[in-house]
């Protein structure tokens, strides 16, 4: 349901919320995908922070 709603929103903010949920569950790959979707969707209030978060997730994936 959340995925359907996030596709209909004008910005990627909901994707970032999904990413945060995945991060809390240590689901790094799913979090990375959600942040990538947020950035692709655009309209973020803090796009620099989203790109920083993506970089941090990718670093974590490389280390594990």
Q: pTM for the whole thing?
A: 0.84
Q: Is the pLDDT of residue 2 over 80?
A: no
d(CA 3, CA 57): 20
pLDDT (mean) for 3-11: 66
Look over the chain and give the mean of its residue pLDDT values, rounded to a whole number. 89
**What local confidence, expressed as pLDDT, does residue 63 receive?**
87
The residue whose two tokens read 């929103």 is 9
1 has a pLDDT exceeding 60: no
Note down the domain range covering 54.
2-63
- Quote the number of domains for the chain: 1
């Amino acid at each position: 349901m959340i995925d359907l709603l996030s596709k209909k929103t004008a910005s990627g903010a909901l994707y970032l919320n999904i990413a945060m949920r995945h991060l809390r569950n240590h689901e790094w790959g799913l979090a990375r995908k959600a942040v990538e979707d947020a950035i692709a969707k655009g309209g973020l209030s803090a796009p620099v922070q989203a790109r920083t978060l993506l970089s941090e997730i990718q670093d974590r994936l490389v280390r594990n």
